[in-house]
Structures are given as C-alpha cells and as structure tokens.
Structure 1
Amino acid sequence: MTALTIERVGARREVAAQVARLAVRSLYAELSLYPKPGLVSLVDNGSHEDMNAGTFLRSLFALRRYFHAICLAGMEDAPFPVLKRLGIEAEARMLRATGGINTHRGAIFSLGLLCAAIGHCRARGIALSPPAIRAALLERWGRALAAHTGDAGLRSHGAQAALRYAASGAREEAALGLPSVFETGLPALRCTLAQGRGMRLARIDALFALMGRMSDTNVYHRGGAQAAATVRARSLAFVARGGTAAPDWEREALDCHRAFVAQRLSPGGAADLLAAVCLVHGACGGVL
C-alpha cells in the first residue's frame, strides 16, 4: 500500500468517524428530548414497561461501529446487500446490548442509509445539503430499496402492522428517499430555528409534524387504525395551534404525553425519523 493510499484511507476513516459521532449524537438528541408523547426519555419511560433511558443508551453506544462502517461502505460505493449485511449485524449487537429489546431497529435502517449517502457524497466531493443527500440515497440504492420493501417477511411487529393496515414502514420510507425526513421533519425543524426558538423547541415541532403526517407502524401495532388516527389528530391539532409558538405549548405537549401513555401508544417510528432529521441537519452544518 502506497503512502498516498494510506493517507486516503486515513482521511476516509476520519470522515466516517465524524459521521458516526454525529449519528450517535442524533440518537441521543432524540432520547433526551422531553416532553415526547408516549416515548422513552431521560424523564420517564413513556408507554414502555420493558425499556428505559438506560436501555437506549446501551443500544446507541453499541451502534457506533456500525455507523462508521456503513459510512465507509457508502464512500466505497458498496451495493445494497453490503449495507443490508451491516444493518443485520448492527441489529444483533443492539439486541445483545439490550437483552433482546428492540430499541433502534428503525433507526439502524434509516440512519444507516443516511450515513452511507453522506459518505457517498463526501467521497465524491459533493457539497452536503438535504437535496444532495437524498439524491445520493435514491440514485445509488433507490432501486434496491424499492425491491427490499417486498422482502420484509413477518419478522418484526412493524412488518406485521404494515401488512395488516397497509401502513408505510421504514422500508417504504427509505424506498421513497425518506420523504418524512426531507419534506416534513426537516422543514419543521428549520422553520422553528429560523423563528429563533432554539433547538429543543425545533425538535418538538419536528416530532409533532412527523407524528401528524406519517403512518407509524409502531402505533398501528399497539392500537390499530383507531390509535393511529388518534396520534395524527392530536399531533396535527398541536401543529395547528402554532406548535411551540403557542404560549401554552408545553402544557399541551404534556397532556398529549399523558394521553398516549394512558392508551399505551408509542410513536417510535416518528422518534427514529426525528433522529434522522437531526443527522441530516447536523451533517449539513447545523448545530445539534
């Protein structure tokens, strides 16, 4: 191996390390957010009896090597089967770290693909922007992702819910280039930041926007179509009142949290995509 090759490999590994750190920080940003209706946070366990913040912390630190590896794979223009294998290995590490509890399966898929797309752009000198990252995802792996939507089987609760209720899950989102991230969550986050309300409130607004617009298979699994309608209605009502711009926004968000916990509703798919929003925002120069 020549000195020039060694230098190139070292530079790519450093970029991958930076992206991996950003992905872990994005997952932590989602975990630490509160109030967050029905979801695990540093304050409480939301609608969950089988997991807490400690479970999530063990999981996200177990994923550091995965984000590094899949970013390098994206730099090397790896085909989708390579990315899929890395994701399967990461899921196994997550389950070992959590004692078999699924904390981040959706995030492994969506954030992993974004890390690969970011790596693809960085290796080719493409300036990072939301359109560039999305274009890389679709142009390089879009066809394989579309085929992958029919390859889910019935292994996960999300896959079962998607089949039963015709809801779109993480695979369908990815095949379309993560529209909930790029067309819903990220614009909501940036709108709040542009109005000077800060990152915490921007994440709250992004989360409610996601809950109001996406079909969350986690919610369908727990409560069916009626539960999904409840989550969307409450979330859209929060957004319609002005989101975090409303003077009593925190009371409304807490009321929503308590209502979701009472009904055991947990919009985990929206939480995963909020972390993806944070990753794209951070990769494009935003402060987390």
Structure 2
Amino acid sequence: MYPEKIYRLGEFALESMLMEVACFPSFGLVSPVSKGAHKDMDYFTFIKSTASLQKYMLKIAHRAFSPDNLDVIFYDCRKFGVEAEKDMFKKTKGINTHKGMIFVLGIAVIAASKAIYNNEEFHSIQEHIRSMTKGMVSRELKNLEKKTALTHGERVFLEYGITGIRGEVEAGIPVIFDYALPAYDSVEFSHAGDNERLLHTLITIMAHCDDTTILHRHDISTLKEVQIICKNLLKKGSLLNKDLIVEIHDLDKNFSKKRISPGGCADLLAVTVFLSLVKETFYV
C-alpha cells in the first residue's frame, strides 16, 4: 500500500495525460476526433498507452517520497522509465506515443513528490527539477559525432544546436513555470471549460517552445512559423476571442495536412496540468 499522497500524484499523472489527448482542435496532434498529422496512431492508441504507464508513475512518485538524495532517486526512476517504455511499446505494438512524456512527466512527478515529502513550498519543485538534471546536456549531448545511431533529439542538436527537452528540464522547464502555468491558472480562464483552458495553454506553449518534434519532421523555418502563428493568436486573445475558433480549426487541418505535430508541446501541456493539480491540492 502506498501513502495517500502517492496515490494522488499517480492520479494526477494519469489525469494529465488523458487531458492532453482530449484537447481539440490541437494543431496536428491526436485527439478524440482526429488522428491529426499521424497515420499510425489515434485516440485509442493513446488511451491504451496511458493505461500502461499509470503503475510506473506511481512507482516514481513512491520512490521520490523519500529522504534520499535526488541524484540517487533520479537514477532509480530512470530505470522505471526504461521499463515504462517497454510496456508502452508492447501495448501500442511498437508505436511511440509517450516516450517523451515518460521522461518529462516522470521528472515532474519526482520533483513534486520530493517537495511534498520535504514539506517544501511549490517553487521548490522547479528547483528540484534543475538540481536532478544539472549537467544533463553536457553529459548526454557531447561526442555525438562518434555515434552511429542518433535519436531525434540528438540529430536536432547536431543540426541546429537546440538542446530540446534535456535543455528545458536542466533550466527548470521555464516554458511551463513562466508561461504555461500562469496561462492555465489565469483568472480569465477560471470559469472556462476544460478544453478552452487546455487549448489556450497549448497555444501559449507552442508560442515559446523550440519543439524538436516539429524540427524532426520539418526545419527551423517551420518551427519559427508555428511560434509566430501562436504568438499572433495570443495577441488576438486566443480562446478569449471566440471569433478565433474558426481560424484555429483551420490551422489544425493545415497542420495535419502538412504533418506538423507539436508532440513536445503536448508533453509540456500534460506536465502543466499535473503541476496545476499538485499546486491546487497541496499548496492552496
């Protein structure tokens, strides 16, 4: 049996993954009504994948709810991450739905569980994220020229010098703490529906995130174009301006047709929901 706080963290991790894929229209991402830019996965693929990950998020939360050093906890939890990937691929028959999610949401779960165990303030979650990932970019993105089999993130780093999710977590995921969380928890959206909150926050993330998933399929000019589109939507009021919903639906169709899928932003959206639930439950 886990402590009640661990079950809550596991619940929030599951909820956040389900909330992310429920968002629509979502700029080429998989949703309940569309495969988006993808041919090999749909909403049901994500549901199956998400279900397979719940036990690992519980294991991660439980391991971090401890007086142990964060480095030791992070090392142990990365083993859980490897196991989670194997189960995910088994469940989806080889389709990568949540590999990035396992990594970044897992880190958020560790940091939140550790902060709650230590009875620390909410801001310490970001400090724990920075602490456990310090030096990750230099450790994992050096001497790549000598490697023969590169990951998508490694290829993007070699071509563009963009550090991707490794650089983002090492910096404490500022896209979330500086932009996404304030957007998701904003007073303006306090009475909005869940989909409106999610979509407004996704647009906010896409406006500021150097998404390597977009770069993997396309190039830097496509990424910059996506960021400009989303910044312009925010200037117009995003979902606060109801007239924009037609434009957003058209953009979703256009992104899907061009096979643009901001998968990294989707992962950060889920982490935003998770951290919002943590803050609301344990810190308000």
Counterpart AA for 1:214: C
Aligned pairs for 1:186-201 (under 5 A) are 186-191=181-186, 193=188, 196-201=191-196
CA deviations 1:126-182 (Å, max 9, x no partner) are: 24x2x121122223x142545554378654323322322222311111111111111
CA contact (8 A) 1:192 1:205 kept: no
Matched position secondary structure for 1:24 = helix
The reply on whether 1:42 has 2:36 as its aligned counterpart is no
- CA distance in 1: counterparts of 2:8 and 2:139, whole angstroms: 29
Instruction: Show the counterpart of 1:14.
Output: 4
Unmatched 5+ stretches in structure 1: 1-9
Instruction: Show the counterpart of 1:7.
Output: none
Instruction: Show the counterpart of 1:210.
Output: 205
Instruction: Show the counterpart of 2:107.
Output: 113
2:96 is aligned, of 102, 115, 122, to 102
Measured after TM superposition, the shift of residue 224 of structure 1 is: 1.0
1:223 is aligned, of 197, 218, 224, to 218
Instruction: Show the counterpart of 1:132.
Output: 124
Instruction: Show the counterpart of 2:134.
Output: 143
Measured after TM superposition, the shift of residue 223 of structure 1 is: 1.0
The reply on whether 1:238 has 2:230 as its aligned counterpart is no
Instruction: Show the counterpart of 2:13.
Output: 23
1:65 is aligned, of 51, 55, 68, to 55
Instruction: Show the counterpart of 1:260.
Output: 255
- CA distance in 1: counterparts of 2:176 and 2:139, whole angstroms: 19
Counterpart AA for 2:34: D
Matched position secondary structure for 2:172 = coil
Matched position secondary structure for 1:110 = helix
Measured after TM superposition, the shift of residue 71 of structure 1 is: 1.0
Counterpart AA for 2:79: R
CA deviations 1:230-274 (Å, max 9, x no partner) are: 211211111111111113121121011011112110000000000
Tell me the C-alpha RMSD between the 2 structures: 1.9
Counterpart AA for 2:126: R
CA contact (8 A) 1:216 1:270 kept: yes
TM-score scaled by length of structure 2 = 0.89
- CA distance in 2: counterparts of 1:60 and 1:260, whole angstroms: 24
Measured after TM superposition, the shift of residue 90 of structure 1 is: 1.1
CA contact (8 A) 2:137 2:163 kept: no
TM-score scaled by length of structure 1 = 0.88
Matched position secondary structure for 1:126 = coil
- CA distance in 1: counterparts of 2:16 and 2:265, whole angstroms: 14
Instruction: Show the counterpart of 1:81.
Output: 75
Counterpart AA for 1:68: L
Is the alpha carbon distance of 1:196 and 1:161 closer, same or farther for their aligned partners in structure 2, counting shifts above 3 Å? same
CA contact (8 A) 1:59 1:97 kept: yes
- CA distance in 1: counterparts of 2:180 and 2:191, whole angstroms: 17
CA contact (8 A) 1:220 1:228 kept: yes
- CA distance in 2: counterparts of 1:53 and 1:163, whole angstroms: 33
Figure out how many residues of one structure are paired with residues of the other and give that number: 273
Deviates more, 1:189-198 or 1:231-240: 189-198
CA deviations 1:8-31 (Å, max 9, x no partner) are: xx5x54322221111011000000
Instruction: Show the counterpart of 1:161.
Output: 156
Unmatched 5+ stretches in structure 2: none
